[in-house]
A and B are shown apart, each in its own frame.
Chain A
Amino acid sequence: MSAHAWHPIAAARDLPPRHVFHAKLLGQELAVWRADDGFINVWENRCLHRGVRLSIGLNEGQELKCQYHGWRYASRTAGCTYIPAHPEGAPARRIANRIFPVIERHGLIWSALETSPDDLQTSLPPDPLVLREIAIDAPAAIVEPLLAAYDPPGHGPRPIFFIQPTDSESCVIRGVVPEPPPTGALALLRLHDAALCALRDVAEQRPAA
């Protein structure tokens, strides 16, 4: 559960244009958004001015605009570019939000709380079938043994699972099927979804040790 390690925080499909995804990793809230040029921004989920969550803000393509006072932050640098209360002056250069590293790979978005961990090492193919994420109100430590014992429904291939620790009390299961069959992807997604929801019921009934 290291802050230096890469963790999946979203699926690539979670970031359509002009949307702000609300993520959480190890207790840290993140505002995640894809700029119109495709660049993915992973920022601390707070406007520097008065602390309002940026995940309720507006993804305007190249900038994220805060809902409270309309402050704008640039894609890539997270630097404040415009303060509407003072339209004549340029914002102070030091006003830049905290940014986190990001990699888009294997249909998932990966980040880390501390900067520049080593490159993400996985042996996955570039474009696996990504299962629906399952958010669980139970710690990762409870979910891990349940996932280890996961019995794939039917006779399909076993997915590779990653556990995203959202905070000390909850986590998200993100699974990918490396080599899905050429047809029947939707049925496969539904099968795993139902099995993982059942696993969640078990996890949430277990008292945290």
Chain B
Amino acid sequence: MITFYEDALCENCYAVRLLLHMLAVPYTSHFIELYPSRANLQPRFRAINPLAELPVIDDDGVIIAGAAPILVYLAAKHAPGTWYATDTPALAQVTHFLTLAERLSATVGAARRHESGFAPTDLPAAHTGATRLLRGLDAHLWFAEQQGNAWLLPTPHPTIADLACFPHVILCEEGGISRQPYPALRRWCDRVKRLPNFLVMPGVFLTAPPKTE
């Protein structure tokens, strides 16, 4: 059984929680409060992850820390042909978006942590970086739609690339970054929300069910 160390309000934990639910992998949750008590800095959590960061999973002794490595671990183990890529170009594309998600966390996520009072940051720099990345992602998805693709990769099934980027995009307004200039991103968010076993977190609303013919 997987033990999942998480905080209910952490967007990187949300990416992992989404995949666990979509794969229907059972787990027990262990709440580590990042703010205001900063339980992640306590010795008992540092013993599990010396970086004192969330998320972490412990899969019967295999300890993996960080959203991207955990997503890779879970998807490669449980759903290699769908949620995780196996062919060469797709593997590189997935890696591209996992890296992009880290950059979103350092800009969009930093703005959110700043506005939430969790951690101060250089807000104008975070917003400038965020705008650049969100514009690029919005353009990518607009052209994907033009070619009949719904997801970040040109595959019929979504991948961990989508789940890695989604939390940052859907929570960006908590960092004072409007999603209004990014219509393709807003439509993609609706599509992610309509995936089977989708789960909200605080700050995320459901969308309407799809039109049935």
Contacts and interface: CB of A to CB of B under 8 A. Distances in A.
A133 to B, nearest CB: 7
Interface stretch (A12-20, A120-128, A148-156): A12-20
Nearest to A137: B131
Interface string B98-133: 000000000000000000000000000000000100
Contacts of B139: 132, 193, 197
Nearest to B206: A58
Given A14-B183, A132-B142, A135-B181, A58 B207 contact: yes
Interface stretch (B2-10, B30-38, B143-151, B153-161): B143-151
Interface residues of A, number: 31
A40 interface: no
Given A56-B205, A67-B205, A17 B211 contact: yes
A98 to B, nearest CB: 19
A36 B146 contact: no
Contacts of A29: 180
B209 interface: yes
Contacts of B53: none
A135 B138 CA distance: 11
Q: SS class of chain A's interface: helix, strand, loop or mixed?
A: mixed
Contacts of A24: 180
Interface in B187-213: 187, 190, 205-211
B96 interface: no
A186 B146 CA distance: 8
Interface string A113-151: 000000000000000000011010100000000000000
B179 interface: yes
Contacts of B208: 18, 58-61, 65
B21 interface: no
A66 B207 CA distance: 11
A22 interface: yes
B186 interface: yes
A190 interface: yes
A207 B100 CA distance: 30
B146 A22 contact: no
A74 interface: no
B207 A18 contact: yes
A18 B209 contact: yes
B183 A21 contact: yes
Contacts of B147: 186
Nearest to B178: A22
A71 B143 CA distance: 36
Interface in A51-76: 55-56, 58-61, 65, 67
Contacts of B211: 17-18, 36, 61
B80 to A, nearest CB: 31
Contacts of B131: 137
B85 to A, nearest CB: 23
Contacts of A13: 145
A189 interface: yes
Contacts of B179: 22
A10 interface: yes
Nearest to A14: B183
Contacts of A14: 183, 187
Nearest to A23: B180
Nearest to A45: B180
19 contacts: A14-B183, A16-B187, A17-B210, A18-B207, A18-B209, A18-B210, A19-B186, A19-B187, A19-B190, A23-B180, A24-B180, A36-B211, A56-B205, A58-B206, A59-B208, A65-B208, A67-B205, A189-B146, A193-B139
Given A16-B187, A24-B180, A65-B208, 16 more contacts: A17-B210, A18-B190, A18-B207, A18-B209, A19-B190, A22-B186, A36-B211, A55-B180, A59-B208, A60-B208, A67-B205, A132-B143, A135-B181, A172-B181, A186-B147, A190-B143
